[in-house]
Amino acid sequence: MDIAIVGASGYAGGDLIRLLLTHKEANIVCATSRKLAGTPVTKDHIHLKNLIDIEYTNPDVNDIDADFAFLAVPHTAAMQYAGQLKERGIKTVDFSADYRLPLDVYEKTYGVTHTAYFKAPYGLPELHREEIAKADFVANPGCFPTGATLAAAPMAKFAETIIYDSKSGVSGAGDSVSETTHYPNVDENINPYKITVHRHVPEMRQEMAFLGSSASVYFTPHLLPAIRGIITTAHILLKEPMTKEEVAAAYEEFYKDEHFVRLQHAKLGGVRGSNFCDINWELEADGRRLVAVSAIDNLVKGAAGQAIQNMNIMCGFDESEGIRMPGMFP
C-alpha cells in the first residue's frame, strides 16, 4: 500500500517513518516538507540512513498519489488538505486538532475559523474501534488526552471529579527552537504551563462524556527534563466509596482485550519507543479517591504509533502490524 506523509520532517513524522519501515503492507512513496523539499529525508532524520532513500517534496494536494495519507501537520494546516484527500478517496489519519472536536468547540478552543469542517471519528481505538473501522478519515487524538483518557476510562461512570496532572518530555513541543525548551530552562527543572487553559482539555471532557460520565474534568501539564514520554496522574474523586476488588474488576474488564494497554507499574522506561500504555492505580483508604497513573510515549501511542494503529483498523490489517515492539528499557 502506497503511503504519503504530509509534514514528514518533524519528530512525529520521523517516528511515523521509523515505524512504517517495519510494516509489511506499507510502502512510503511521498514525504512532504515545504522547507526541506529536494533534500533527502535522512538529512534531518539521521537515524533512518540506509533504511529509506527518498527526498522530501512539496506537491499540491491534488498531486499526492497514494492509497493512504498521514497529515503530520499542525492545526489549521490539516484543513487545507483533508477535504480534498477525502474527496479523492485517499484514506487519511490526521495528527492535528482540526477534526477532533465539534465545530463550535474547536473554533472557541483554537481561536480560528474552520474552513473545511466535517465530522470524523476520534481515533482512540480502545474507545472508538468500530467507528474507526468504517471510516475513511480519522482524527488522531492529542498526546495528553490519550494517556489521560486511558488512565480514567474504566472509572468514568463512577467519577464525580477527575483531575489530570501530566508530565511530558520536551519532544512534545516539536523541533522548533524556543526559550521554553532551551536546555538551561529544562534541565533539572519541572515547569507547569497553561495551568488551567490547555487546549487538550476539551478532548478529555469529550471522551469522558462519551463514556457516560458527568464528572468535572481538569488538567494541568508540566514540562519534564526528558525527551520522550508522558506520565499522567489522574486523581479520580468517586461518587461513592469503592473497594479495591471493585476497582480491579473494572480495569481488568475494560482492558481485557486491549493489546496495547497493560495493567502494570507505569513508568516511562517501560513504554519508551513503543505503542503501549501502562496503567497502575491505588485506592485511598476511605475508598473515595482513586489515583490512576498512565505512561505513554508521546511520539508513539501519543502520535505516530496510534496513527498506524488507526490505519491498521481502517484497512483491515492486524492491529499491531508495524507497532509490535517493546519499550526501550533501560
Question: If we measure between CA atoms, which residue out of 94, 224, 203 comes closest to residue 152?
Answer: 203
Looking at domain 144-298, its CATH architecture is 2-Layer Sandwich (3.30)
CA 224 to CA 317: how far, in whole Å?
Answer: 36
Say if CB 310 and CB 125 are below 8 A apart: yes
Average pLDDT, the chain: 97
Domain coordinates of the chain in residue numbers? 2-120, 144-298
Of all residues in the chain, what percent carry a pLDDT higher than 90? Answer: 95
Say if residue 103's pLDDT is above 80.
Answer: yes
Say if CB 193 and CB 164 are below 8 A apart: no
CA 31 to CA 8: how far, in whole Å?
Answer: 5
What pLDDT, on a 0 to 100 scale, did the predictor assign at position 177?
74
**Three-class SS state of 20:** helix
Beta-sheet pairing, 68-71 with 91-94: parallel
Give the pLDDT band (50/70/90) at residue 183.
confident
Average pLDDT for 260-267: 98
Active site residue 143: yes
Say if residue 17's pLDDT is above 90.
Answer: yes
Average pLDDT for 1-20: 97
Residue 195 corresponds to which cell in the numbers above? Answer: 495551568
The beta-strand segments (E) located in 76-152 are: 91-94, 137-139
Give the pLDDT band (50/70/90) at residue 114.
very high
Is the domain defined by 2-120 classed in CATH 3.40.50.720? yes
CA 237 to CA 220: how far, in whole Å?
Answer: 16
98: left (phi over 0), alpha (psi -120 to 50) or beta: alpha
Choice among 185-194, 287-296, 314-323 with the minimum mean pLDDT? 185-194
What pLDDT, on a 0 to 100 scale, did the predictor assign at position 175?
78
